[in-house]
Structure 1
Amino acid sequence: MDKIKNISEELKEWIIHTLQSGVSPLAICNGLIKKGFDPKFAYETLFEIVGNGSVTNINHAYQYEPIHISDQGNILHTSDREVYIRAKSIKPVIIQFENVLSDDECNLLIQLAKDRLQPSKVIDANSGAEKAAAGRTSKGMYFRLQENELIAKIERRIAEITNYPLVNGEGLQVLNYQIGEEYKGHYDFFPEKKVDPSKGGQRIATMLLYLNDVEAGGETIFPKTGQLIVPRRGSAVFFHYGNSLGEVDRLSLHSSIPVESGEKWVATKWIRQHNIYHGA
């Protein structure tokens, strides 16, 4: 059966009213999809509604602070590569990059990760332990920090781009999404009670690197801000969501929508407040 790709004015008014009552845009999107709406159409409809000023009370209290990348020009010179800023948002901090990885680096990362993939897990909000979750249907693996020459080179490059020490970064994670697989809306920061100061403290930023071009689907979306990022080999998106006051930016809610054709490969570097291996 064909998916629905149009929306009535009555339903649009209901969506606006529901958003104003505090319901998450992502929850409304998921509801529309379950009712038979085309996923991309549902997301784009919510983006349009949120972006046109119809909803006025979905903002939050978070104090934005200057970060290193925001002060740079559109070309960043690392020790081994020129990286280009394609788009930049300051509130919230979401920066899109091109030319972060070469084609050969992307292909090699995929090859090194393939035989080590395991079903992806999430952090339980109550216990802090990793667990399987229906909303995350990818497979993934972790490299140890500086596990080999390639990983060390990529980690140095990320440190130079973000201006955060290499030791503040968790081990690089590689994820693979097949057709229909997704990661529903989530935050990368830890629940407040599960932050461990002895292991670097809170996560404050993420660098998400795209390792292949996805034939269809697989976009990264920020449903509270209406931003959608198409995966392109060698590109990346950086988002920053933790400040020196211990606050977290809830506009950083994001998800990976289902892959419709082909597959999707990404690598993730999570950055903590402090040195992961020596606490604060």
Structure 2
Amino acid sequence: MLDQSFSIVSILLICSSLCVIVANGEFYSSADKMMELEHVEKELVTATRTLLTGQKKQLDEYRSFVARVKREHEVAKQLGDEYWELPLNTFRLTRRLVEDWEKLHSQQEDNPITKNYEIYLDALSKAVGMPQLDDLRGIARGFVRLQKIYNISASDFAEGTVNAFASDAIFLWRDCYEIGVQLYEQAEYEAALEWLLLASNMLDETESEDEQKLQVDLLEYLALTYVELGQKQEAIKLLTDLLTLDPSHSAQYTLNYLDKRAEKCPQPEEDKFWTANYTILCRGQHLPRDEPEDKTLRCYRDSKRHPIFQLAPLNVEEVHRNPDIHVYHGVLNDLQILDIFEVTEDFTKFRSMVHGNRVSDVRVSQQVWLNYTTPIMQHVNKLTSAISGFDMKYTELMQVADYGIGGQYTPHYDYMSVLPDDYIKMGNRIATVMYYLSDVTQGGYTVFPKLNVFLKPVKGSMVMWHNELRSLANDPRTLHAGCPVIEGFKRSKCCNMSFNLNTNIDANFYTAVSNIWIHSSRQEFRRPCSLNKNE
């Protein structure tokens, strides 16, 4: 049995090791937090095993559940950071913490032996926070984003057609069912139908003592989904099959309702956004070209840009001209990247927003802002100035964004259409500099929909482009986006220059992108205007 002293000691240990987790914070939009939740669940396993010693005959269900969780942790230990690169494992962990543990706790609510255990759970939740239903639903929406952008079907995920799910992530019928249920609850009916149908096919091949009950639950959700999609006859057929399995089911009332209900209007055609240039480029495919490909683009070594490159010339790759987009390879090494990650650990992440103060699936990530006071950040500041040629007086703090399952930033501009009051002195964002701090196995491209350009993250590289013309007019051709990562987590950082860092560091198990934005004030001699206002 758990005593109070054991609970207090455990909570203190958890607080010291997981202090970066914010109680009641959002988890699904942060890859880092999802990995930290693994440690929270391990604490739950330890406490539950202690409880089981006093309830061997009463808690068979507890014992079986804990054994399953232990097997998951053993797999996670064997695979290391690769385990958390799989969105399915993220979904399973969140589902267990949102639903399964709660179900087991409620079964023991009136058992006096569990009172101290409940005290422990309450203290654990207050100390480090727990994922909520919104987290589970957010992960389900992440699957849908991956499907729409990369043209991946639910069966592609389950059958391992997608490399990230090829061997180590085996979808069970219940995984598909639960994803479908969460999508149904969020009115994502077409996506829900696909996952529920897949779950139905998988359940038909499963031998289970509870198969009839499982089929009843699944048929009910399938029928309701068909109702929402306006496919009345399909819904009636499934409800009839359901009543054959369970004549007392409330589906008989639903059948009576459908019999008198008028046909539902067809759903409007899906938003064309998902088939636009952004989606195609995210898949690593070029758009049909209106003009012939520029075959003069080249790779070269540059030792004249700044004295620091005399002995170690820059490796430059021209990606696009007018506007210029250049990739500078190998500008950061592994130790420097690790130093940057260590700096971020001193800050608390918060959910990224759009339009200043609104949370939206347009941008799914968490972020922090870093100043240039530490040695590594001072180096990054000087390196960016040497490569870009800009004065760094007016440079925003570096923004570090941590992307969870299906995390993305849809097409946007880095410049401000209307300058806020605090930007008047600084001017607009004249340039964006991106540092990739890791390689991404699948997805995670930076794309420019109007320029027919996509960039695959390459660890240690830097990308730069100008957001304004020489006249300081905004350049709408620089519309760009961050594509969701299929395999491998993605973090990003940004400041007055625009950094994108993508790296896998064993100490933290995440991928990163860093952004820095450089502003236009004090740049008149660094990038002088020309007589052509459109240059």
Say yes or no: TM over 0.5.
Answer: yes
Deviation string, structure 1 residues 215-263 (Cα, Å, up to 9, x no partner): 2110100011111101111011101021343311111000011110111
**Secondary structure in 1 matching 2:465:** strand
Mapped partners of 1:202, 1:169: distance in 2: 11
Is 1:261 aligned to residue 491 of structure 2? no
Shift of 1:275: 5.4
Distance 1:257 1:78, change over 3 A: farther
Shift of 1:83: 2.6
Distance 1:108 1:42, change over 3 A: closer
Deviation string, structure 1 residues 179-204 (Cα, Å, up to 9, x no partner): 31111000000113537554401111
Greater CA deviation, 109-118 or 213-222?
109-118
**Secondary structure in 2 matching 1:181:** coil
Mapped partners of 2:466, 2:281: distance in 1: 28
Mapped partners of 2:307, 2:438: distance in 1: 22
Shift of 1:42: 7.2
Number of the residue aligned with 1:143:
370
Distance 1:42 1:165, change over 3 A: closer
Alpha-carbon contact 1:82-1:99 (below 8 Å) kept: no
Corresponding letter in the other structure for 2:353: K
Deviation string, structure 1 residues 91-116 (Cα, Å, up to 9, x no partner): 11211110121111112212321452
Shift of 1:41: 7.3
Shift of 1:177: 1.9
Shift of 1:176: 2.0
Distance 1:229 1:88, change over 3 A: closer
Number of the residue aligned with 1:48:
287
Number of the residue aligned with 1:112:
343
Distance 1:85 1:212, change over 3 A: same
**Secondary structure in 2 matching 1:107:** helix
Number of the residue aligned with 1:237:
463
Shift of 1:210: 0.6
Corresponding letter in the other structure for 2:359: A
| Structure 1 outlier segments of 4+, above 6 Å | none
Number of the residue aligned with 2:251:
none
Shift of 1:29: 4.9
Say which one has the larger Rg.
2
Alpha-carbon contact 1:201-1:273 (below 8 Å) kept: yes
**Secondary structure in 2 matching 1:155:** helix
Written as runs of structure 1 = structure 2, the 5 A alignment for 1:28-67 is: 28-31=272-275, 39=279, 47-49=286-288, 51-53=289-291
Corresponding letter in the other structure for 2:515: T
Mapped partners of 1:246, 1:196: distance in 2: 18
Mapped partners of 2:283, 2:479: distance in 1: 14
Written as runs of structure 1 = structure 2, the 5 A alignment for 1:1-280 is: 1-2=154-155, 28-31=272-275, 39=279, 47-49=286-288, 51-53=289-291, 74-76=301-303, 77=306, 79=308, 82-114=313-345, 116=347, 117-122=349-354, 124=355, 129-144=356-371, 146-194=372-420, 196=422, 198-264=424-490, 265-274=512-521
Distance 1:115 1:260, change over 3 A: farther
Distance 1:190 1:147, change over 3 A: same
Shift of 1:174: 1.8
Shift of 1:173: 1.7
Mapped partners of 2:474, 2:364: distance in 1: 26
Which sections of structure 2, spanning at least 5 residues, go unmatched? 1-153, 157-270, 293-299, 491-511, 524-535
Alpha-carbon contact 2:366-2:402 (below 8 Å) kept: yes
Corresponding letter in the other structure for 2:287: E
- Higher RCO structure (Cα 8 Å, ≥6 apart): 1
Alpha-carbon contact 2:283-2:443 (below 8 Å) kept: no
What number of residue pairs does the alignment pair up? 225
Deviation string, structure 1 residues 85-137 (Cα, Å, up to 9, x no partner): 12242211211110121111112212321452221123x2xxxx444332111
Deviation string, structure 1 residues 14-71 (Cα, Å, up to 9, x no partner): xxxxxxxxxxxxx8452479xxxxx5577556x322x2449xxxxxxxxxxxxxxxxx
**Secondary structure in 2 matching 1:184:** strand
TM-score by length of 2: 0.38
Which sections of structure 1, spanning at least 5 residues, go unmatched? 4-26, 34-38, 55-72
